[in-house]
Amino acid sequence: MGHVLAIGLLLCALVLLFDPSISHPLCIDSRAPSTLSTPLKFCSYNGTACCNSTEDSQIQKQFQSMNISSSACASLLKPVLCARCDPFSAELFTVDSVPRPVPILCNSTVSSANSSQSLIQVTNDFCSSLWDTCQNVSISNSPFAPSLQGQAGIPVTSNVSELTQLWQSKADFCNAFGGVSSDDSVCFDGEPVKLNDTGTPIPPHGLCLEKIGNGSYLNMVAHPDGSNRAFFSSQEGKVWLATIPEEGSGEAMGLDESNPFVDLTDQVHFDTAFGMMGMAFHPNFTHNGRFFASFNCDKEKWPGCTGRCSCNSDVNCDPSKIGPDNGAQPCQYQTVIAEYTANGTASQPSLATSAKPSEVRRIFTMGLPFTGHHAGQILFGPEDGYLYFMMGDGGGDGDPYNFSQNKKSLLGKIMRLDVDNVLSASEIDKLALWGNYSVPKDNPISEDPALRPEIWALGLRNPWRCSFDSENPSYFICADVGQDLYEEVDVITKGGNYGWNFYEGPYPFTPPNSSSRNASTKPTDPIFPIMGYNHSEVNKKEGSASITGGYIYRSTTDPCMYGRYVYGDLYAGAIWAGSEDPENSGNFSTSKIPFSCGRNSPIPCASVPGSSLPALGYIFSFGEDNRKDIFVLSSSGVYRVVRPSRCNYTCSKENVTSVATPSPSASPNDAWWLSNPSKSTVLLISSLVLLLLLSFA
């Protein structure tokens, strides 16, 4: 029986290891750290921090009110209080989603099953040092009271106390407040959190592609059932359901152009800058059949194209003044999110091969001031289940109406909508919502009442393709198209302001008509890009660069690409790979990466004239399937990233003699195992343990 118990304990440890919480820069209020123009006066943080000067002063007052009777103890407690300003404060002050009054104090006596590989190990036992120095020092309103920590200790009747009056021993104290740095956690050792710097990662030798489709698509979404199927949509407004073949099988993807999953072309206005811009399938699609399309419409051609104009008195904009320059009537073109269903077309939604083209519900409609910069991508958050909606600044040179920084405008924003809890018509009118949705209670308006309730982030020009990291969903990464100089990649956080039109990437920006810009809207804490490139880097004439966002590569197909953010440029046909080093530090470097077409590509790759490079044409978008393989969606077809050896690229991590892992099957019953290999391994081990237990019974 003892052996069975040991196996059971091992199983528990494995379960814990398969579900790590990854450390990365994030503040207690879920916002990204801000860039400081000058160091904090009291807490002395420089560069980036989670405090501004006002919060720094508040911490100073708290410290002074504690009346610490020992200077040695005070020198240790000051950085403990100031740790709230640390870029890693969310991790330092939160354990199992429970906030703490003080950070996790580094304590070498606390054991850890997975010692750190990338984070600095405990270099000193800060918890013990604090106890030894402060145990008999009087402190007013001590943050170390057991009640604040939610643990039992010595009852205290006075607001002035010593540690020995609060805790029985150093061991009890450090058990309550101590911890160590590991792969998935950080602790505070009296200094700002630091990560091991292993140097700039060496970029892979190249990216190997195979062509599996000839069509030109704007969106790709993996089937929610976890199978080897995916949805592709065109800018014209058609959606197809395709089967993704095994990598290296020599087969093209199965897609019948003559038989779309749904055809919305009667509703979609298609032109150079208009069309069906996004699609998203409800997280519970396999049961409820709900899916959503984001597209543009023309109110002169389709009666269903109705909605308020985004240029209105609420945002100090007169629509009658934008018509002539726009070449169209004011807000003639609208951006729409509509809900559709696959129910009734098959015995269950997961088996549906077609859907109804009629709207179930209009989620959102808004008139556009100009004919560009309206983004339009939609996707569901993998952890919260809310719908994220990307919207550009509406167009015009330099955002002439300052929409992007206007907190009452939805242009130049990323929105976060609840499409599961619809309000009544009267509630929608009262809140002046733009459609049939509700607002999540923890949206940034809960902290900044000046914001429209839908807004999740602001200060963007034209976010073109965003994605959540499948391994670390708190990394929500968007590419934002620049104007004259710089194309940027941003990590999007709650309430984050990304600077446009006061900044273009990391550079100050002055619009052509700067006199119309409201200086009072200049962001005090803009969040600058984690990576990007200047227009000069793509060797194109001014104005011809346009970034296309991608994904953090999480497939095992090319192990040398694992963990790198892959993105491209629409016009240049170039691809970049960005790396974070140290891992989860927020410090990124990026480089343009060579690419070529793999041997035995199912569809031969046309070459750039005078070169062996594949002629990708325009890179419209990227996609990711249920195996986490990455796809390039271009004007010349669909390409998949494959094993580097197929292009004679060297990758020391690739086992060239190994057999490729089978793709997910089309069976929904098998999909969970295939799309969650680590969890399925745990489940398999659980079954073995259960069999052992039964054999001993």
DSSP letters spanning 315-375: GT--GGGTHHHHTSSTT-EEEEEEEEE-TTSSSSGGG-S----S-SEEEEEEE-SSSS---
The tens digit of pLDDT for each residue in 350-382 reads 999 999 999 999 999 999 999 999 999 999 999
Q: Where are the alpha helices (DSSP H) in 135-238?
A: 146-149, 163-166, 170-177
Please determine, for residue 169, whether its predicted confidence score (pLDDT) is greater than 80. Answer: yes
The tens digit of pLDDT for each residue in 458-475 reads 999 999 999 999 999 999
DSSP state of 564: P
Of 286-290, 414-418, 660-664, the poorest mean pLDDT is in 660-664
Please report the pLDDT score of residue 109 as a whole number.
Answer: 62
Q: Where are the alpha helices (DSSP H) in 160-222?
A: 163-166, 170-177
Give percent above pLDDT 70 in the chain. Answer: 83
How would residue 145 be classed by pLDDT, with cut points 50, 70 and 90? confident
Domain ranges of the chain: 2-179, 261-461+482-519
Give percent above pLDDT 90 in the chain. Answer: 62
**Residues contacting residue 154 through CB under 8 Å, at least 6 positions apart:** 146, 165, 166, 167, 168
Please determine, for residue 483, whether its predicted confidence score (pLDDT) is greater than 60. Answer: yes
260-283 as b/e: b if 16+ CB within 10 A? bbbbbbebbbeeeebbbbbbbbbb
Average pLDDT over residues 494-509: 96
Of 4-8, 98-102, 417-421, 617-621, the poorest mean pLDDT is in 4-8
- Give the closest residue to 628 by CA, choosing from 677, 577, 675: 675
Please report the pLDDT score of residue 121 as a whole number.
Answer: 45
Q: Strands, E, within 109-237: which ranges?
A: 139-140, 160-161, 178-179, 207-213, 219-222, 229-233
The tens digit of pLDDT for each residue in 171-223 reads 889 888 888 776 567 889 888 887 765 566 677 889 999 999 999 999 999 99
Please determine, for residue 683, whether its predicted confidence score (pLDDT) is greater than 90. Answer: no
Measured from the Cβ of residue 425, the count of other Cβ atoms closer than 10 Å reads: 9
Query: Alpha-carbon distance 382 to 283, whole Å?
Result: 8
Please report the pLDDT score of residue 408 as a whole number.
Answer: 97
For residue 321, what are its two tokens?
Answer: 């003044």
**Residues contacting residue 157 through CB under 8 Å, at least 6 positions apart:** none
The tens digit of pLDDT for each residue in 589-645 reads 999 999 999 989 999 998 888 777 789 999 999 999 999 999 999 999 999 999 999
Average pLDDT over residues 32-46: 87
121-135 as b/e: b if 16+ CB within 10 A? bbeebbbbbbbebbb
Please report the pLDDT score of residue 579 as a whole number.
Answer: 93
Residue for token pair 């359901």:
241
Amino acid at 573: G
Please report the pLDDT score of residue 426 as a whole number.
Answer: 93
Please report the pLDDT score of residue 270 as a whole number.
Answer: 96
Q: Which helix (H) or strand (E) segment is 61 a member of?
A: helix 53-65
Residue for token pair 């969310």:
90
The tens digit of pLDDT for each residue in 321-355 reads 775 455 557 899 999 999 999 998 899 999 999 99
Report the topology of domain 261-461+482-519: Neuraminidase (2.120.10)
Please determine, for residue 157, whether its predicted confidence score (pLDDT) is greater than 80. Answer: no
Dihedral over Cα of 86, 90, 91, 92: its sign = positive
* 269 or 189: which leads in pLDDT: 269
Please determine, for residue 306, whether its predicted confidence score (pLDDT) is greater than 50. Answer: yes
For residue 216, what are its two tokens?
Answer: 């030109």
Please report the pLDDT score of residue 287 as a whole number.
Answer: 95
How do beta strands 207-213 and 333-341 pair?
A: unpaired
Amino acid at 622: F
Amino acid at 342: A
Average pLDDT over residues 163-172: 90
* 529 or 661: which leads in pLDDT: 529
CA angle 201, 202, 203 (to 5 degrees): 110
Contact between 675 and 581 under an 8 Å Cβ cutoff? The reply is no
Query: Alpha-carbon distance 498 to 442, whole Å?
Result: 20
- Distances in whole angstroms, Cα of residue 138 to Cα of each of 61, 67, 127: 17, 8, 18
pTM of the model: 0.80
